[in-house]
Amino acid sequence: MRIDLNSDLGESYGPWSMGDDRAMLDIVTSANIACGGHASDPETMFTTLRLAAERGVVIGAHPGYADREGFGRRVIPMSPAEAGRMVAAQIGALAGVAVVAGAVIRYVKPHGALSNVSMDDRAMADAIVAAIKAQPGDLALLAISGTELEEAGRAAGLTVFSEIFADRGYLPNGRLVPRSQPGAMIHDAGAAAERLLRFLETGRMPVLGGDPIPLRAQSVCVHGDSPGAVAMAREIRSALTARNVEIASFL
């Protein structure tokens, strides 16, 4: 078996620090780098891009609602067309800094509330996909498994890769447990690793209040902003390699 490990990185802003990007980039094989919307700034983008490029980690743009105070986890009312232009602007910002950093952006993964809306809102999903498709470089899409965004990307002819989350709980409909509810986050690294191994063996994800559901995945996300994120990522990678699972980027 083969799987990618990805993490949301570059989410610091000015003197405010979020996560340990340097350590995570020694563990993951793909990095979703914030583009100045929900987090980041030009210096943070540059540093994270450079660190990823030096380690051979595949780089993706991670656009989200322009809401630093809410870390992109609040829905900002806007039309699908407006959201598409916002995504295009953020990809462009990261791409501009990437040129200076000697890095290349290969894919796009929406962040937070923007991703959540596009799970079920096909118009929003189509607008995000159209913005990605319009960019130079044939960017791929990393989308949460079993969502409208995933299907919209395939319908538009994008190269689409599906992801699941190592440290998030799932509902029977395949959606993530809201962060405000119990069971939303998995903090036990051993439990997260065992759940992931069972999924890779069976193709079915355990859920709250129901039987495991089928999902497909080429990538597994470990959130870089959660407590103990680096330790969890290390334990997950170690558990996978111990079971002869190859850790490699989807690109």
Lookup: tokens for 237 = 């990678």
Contacts of 174-179 with C-beta under 8 Å, sequence gap 24+, read 174/145, 174/146, 174/147, 174/205, 174/207, 174/213, 174/215, 175/119, 175/120, 176/116, 176/144, 177/208, 179/73
> How many residues does this entry show for the chain?
251
Residues in CB range of 193: below 8 A, 6 or more apart? 166, 235, 236, 238, 239, 240
Amino acid 100: pLDDT: 98
The predicted model scores a pTM of 0.95
Q: Which residues pair with 109 in a beta bridge?
A: none
10 Å CB burial of residue 92 (0-12, 13-18, 19+) is middle
- pLDDT of the chain, 251 residues: tens digit per residue: 899 999 999 999 999 999 999 999 999 999 999 999 999 999 999 999 999 999 999 999 999 999 999 999 999 999 999 999 999 999 999 999 999 999 999 999 999 999 999 999 999 999 999 999 999 999 999 999 999 999 999 999 999 999 999 989 999 999 999 888 888 988 888 899 999 999 999 999 999 989 999 999 999 999 877 778 899 999 999 999 999 999 999 99
Amino acid 114: pLDDT: 98
Amino acid 1: pLDDT: 84
Amino acid 61: pLDDT: 98
Amino acid 224: pLDDT: 75
Amino acid 45: pLDDT: 98
Amino acid 32: pLDDT: 98
* Backbone CA torsion sign across 166, 170, 173, 178: negative
Name which of 144, 71, 160, 134 is nearest 110 in CA terms: 144
